Structure 1
Amino acid sequence: MCTNTACFLRVVVMVVAVAVCAAVTENGRAASTAAEPLSLDACIRIALDKNPANRAAMETFAAAGEAADAARAPYYPDLSLNLGYRRVQTHAFLPSSINFPGITSIIGPVNQWNAGVKASFTLFDSGQRKAEAQSARASHKASAEDAERTRQGIIIAVTEAYYTLLAAQEAKGAAGEHLTRGEDHLRLAGERKAAGAVPQADVMRARVEVANARLSLVRAENAVRIARGNLNRTMGLVPSLALAIKREEQPVTAPGAVDITEAYAHAMSRRPEIRAAGHNITAGENNVKSAKSTFGPKIRAEAGYGWLDSEFLPQDKDWSLGVSVQWPLFSGFAGVHNTARARADLSRKEAEKEQVILNVQQEVWTAYANLTETYESVQAAVVAKADAAESLRLARARYDAGAGTITDLLDTETAMDNAQVTYVQAMYTHYIALAHMKLAVGDL
Structure 2
Amino acid sequence: MLREYDKSDIRPLPVLLALVTLFTGCATPGQISTPSVDEYVPLAMGQHVRTSPASMDGTLDPDLAASSGGLSKDALSLSECLEIALNQNPAQFAARHGVTVATETVGIAKALYYPEVNFMSSWNRSLRSSTLPGGVTQLVTPDSNGPTNDWLAGFAARYTIADGGRRAAELRRALALNGATEGDVKRIRQDIVFEVQSSFYRPAAATQVHNVAEENLSRAKAHLDLVQRLYSANILVIHGHQMDVISLV
TM tier relative to shorter chain: 0.3 to 0.5
Q: TM-score under structure 2 normalisation?
A: 0.47
The structure richer in helix per residue is 1
What's the TM-score once normalised by structure 1's chain length? 0.28
